[in-house]
């Protein structure tokens, strides 16, 4: 998969999955634009010194103006990969309106705003790729028990992605999403020390699926919500 001379935005790019995806994109020749909110994210980002990485600070992805500025700074955009989001495990009786709105803001609003601005740019340049991140509970609703607000927000991301793919079918912009199960990250291992880590998909493996969906090699796949569960 050749990304030479192609510009790609990766929101949430400083996280565990984002680091793997940016690394794979760089290996394929891409120029990566990685927004972040807190300086500590940039400081620990292992690809920060790569000349084809542009770290863009103080970007609040729930704010329309900030997202518009981010994408206005990229003259020719090929792909936009939206990993930014949040997780909350609470039963419905523990979930207040603030909790619900936080899940919708961090998971749905960021995805919609970034997709909107990416599409504007891609239409001007003749096409591109959008990849969003849903989650297993977005496809298997019963697995969202105990995290209903999160499951609802990720189901919305999945529905949005499929609807947007149909909307853009004739514009040369292919939209897809992935639906990960629990991925093998240091944070997840710490949170679930007794789990079977070997069954969890590795972030590097998930990155390869994202890379294909975002690549020029993907010429026909659109409107998919691809399960990336590994053996879990």
| 47-56, 82-91, 126-135, 183-192: least confidently modelled range | 183-192
Measured CA to CA, the distance from residue 9 to residue 127 in angstroms comes to 15
Q: Which two tokens stand for residue 66?
A: 């900030």
Question: 134 in a domain, yes or no?
Answer: yes
* Domain that includes residue 15, residue range: 7-228
Specify burial of residue 164 (Cβ count, 10 A radius: 0-12, 13-18, 19+): buried
pLDDT at 75: 81
What value does the mean pLDDT take over residues 173-177? 98
- Binned at pLDDT 50, 70 and 90, residue 24 comes out as very high
Three-state secondary structure of the chain: CCCCCCEEEEECCCCHHHHHHHHHHHHCCCEEEEECCCHHHHHCCCCCCCCCEEEECCCCCCCHHHHHHHHHCCCCCCEEEECCCCCCCCCHHHCCHHHHHHHHHHHHHHHHHHHHHHHHHHHHHCCEEEEEECCHHHHCHHHHCCCHHHHHHHHHHHHHHHHHHHHCCCCCEEEEEEEECCCECHHHHHHCCCCCHHHCCEHHHHHHHHHHHHCCCCCCCCCCEEEECCCC
**Exposure string (b/e) for 187-207, b if CB count within 10 Å is 16 or more?**
eeeeeeeeeeeeebbbbeebb
The pLDDT > 90 percentage for the chain reads 92
Q: Does 137 map to a domain?
A: yes
In a domain, 159, yes or no: yes
pLDDT confidence tier of residue 232, bands split at 50, 70 and 90: confident
Question: For residue 231, what pLDDT is reported?
Answer: 87
In the block, which residue shows the tokens 């309106």? 97
Asked if residue 152 has pLDDT above 90, the reply is yes
Is the predicted pLDDT of residue 127 greater than 90, yes or no? yes
Q: How confident is the model at residue 184 (pLDDT cuts 50, 70, 90)?
A: confident
How high is the mean pLDDT of the chain?
96
Give a yes or no: residue 165 inside a domain: yes
How many domains are contained in the chain?
1
Q: Can you give the pTM of this predicted structure? A: 0.96
Please report whether residue 125 resides in a domain: yes
| Res. 162: pLDDT tops 90 | yes
pLDDT in tens, 57-115: 999 999 999 999 999 999 899 999 999 999 999 999 999 999 999 999 999 999 999 99
**Does the residue 2 lie in any domain?**
no
HSE of 220, CA atoms in CB hemisphere, 13 A: 0
CATH value at residue 151: 3.40.50.720
| Residues 179-185, mean pLDDT to the nearest whole number | 92
């Amino acid at each position: 998969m050749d990304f030479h001379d192609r510009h790609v935005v990766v929101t949430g790019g400083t996280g565990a999955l984002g680091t793997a995806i940016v690394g794979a994109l760089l290996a394929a020749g891409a120029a990566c634009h990685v927004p972040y909110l807190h300086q500590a994210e940039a400081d620990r980002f292992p690809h920060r010194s790569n000349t084809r990485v542009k770290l863009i600070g103080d970007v609040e992805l729930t704010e329309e103006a900030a997202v518009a500025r981010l994408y206005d700074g990229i003259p020719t955009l090929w792909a936009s990969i939206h990993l930014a989001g949040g997780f909350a495990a609470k039963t419905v009786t523990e979930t207040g309106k603030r909790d619900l709105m936080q899940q919708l803001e961090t998971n749905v609003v960021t995805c919609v705003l970034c997709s909107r601005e990416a599409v504007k740019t891609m239409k001007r340049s003749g096409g591109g790729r959008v990849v969003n991140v849903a989650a297993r509970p977005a496809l298997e609703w019963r697995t969202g028990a105990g995290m209903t607000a999160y499951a609802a927000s990720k189901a919305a991301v999945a529905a949005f992605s499929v609807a947007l793919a149909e909307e853009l079918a004739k514009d040369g912009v292919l939209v897809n999403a992935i639906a990960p199960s629990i991925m093998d990250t240091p944070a997840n291992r710490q949170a679930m020390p007794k789990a079977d880590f070997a069954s969890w998909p590795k972030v590097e493996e998930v990155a390869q699926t994202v890379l294909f969906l975002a690549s020029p090699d993907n010429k026909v796949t659109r409107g998919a919500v691809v399960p990336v569960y590994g053996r879990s």
